[in-house]
Amino acid sequence: MKTEIEAKFLSVDLDEVRAKLTQLGAKCVKPMRLMRRVTIDGVDMKAKDAFLRVRDEGDKVTLAYKQFDEASVSGTKEIEVEVENFEDTVHILEQSGLPHGSFQESKRENWELNCVEIMLDEWPWLDPYVEIEADEEGKVKNLAAKLGFNWQDAVFGDVMAAYRVQYPHLKETDTVGNIAEVKFDQPLPDLFKP
């Protein structure tokens, strides 16, 4: 499995981040777009803090296995392949006994600077955040500092790490994966209400 070396910085002003990225010479490689995904996390996967994800990224569709070994800059493992069709891939998994538990929307904009990926992310009911990913921890830390982020504020793991910061009453077992539809046009679910 590939180790992802990444960090999230939460509750950001995306326009400010875009301005800083532009000043640094970064390039926007994919503009903000709606993405949709389904997640599958049966009992065996939950025991390993893992899940399957089918994601329509706008220009391609991917199937991934993600596993979170620890909450650190290099604690996420992933195997990802490109697939032909979102609906057909979801249907194959359902027919093989792996029905999805959640349909999720998010928005993402991708930037690059010196082989470092910067993702500007928006999720329903969550303040925008930035994810920085590279092949070395030093590159992630360096760009975070150039963008004005404090490394002590970095958050690691999947999107639930960000939700748990914004909604501190959430338990480790509370997850958007338990919500049937995570969509921008939906009201705040009870899960997020204190």
As a whole number, mean pLDDT of residues 160-172 equals 96
Structural domain including 92 reads 2-192
pTM greater than 0.75: yes
Q: How far apart are CA 55 and CA 33, in angstroms?
A: 13
Q: Is the pLDDT of residue 33 over 90?
A: yes
Look at the chain and report how many structural domains it folds into. 1
CATH number at residue 167: 2.40.320.10
Q: Which two tokens stand for residue 52?
A: 């399957």
Q: Is the pLDDT of residue 49 over 90?
A: no
Report residue 54's pLDDT band, with 50, 70 and 90 as the boundaries: very high
As a whole number, mean pLDDT of residues 26-41 equals 95
pLDDT value, residue 130: 98
Q: How far apart are CA 36 and CA 102, in angstroms?
A: 11
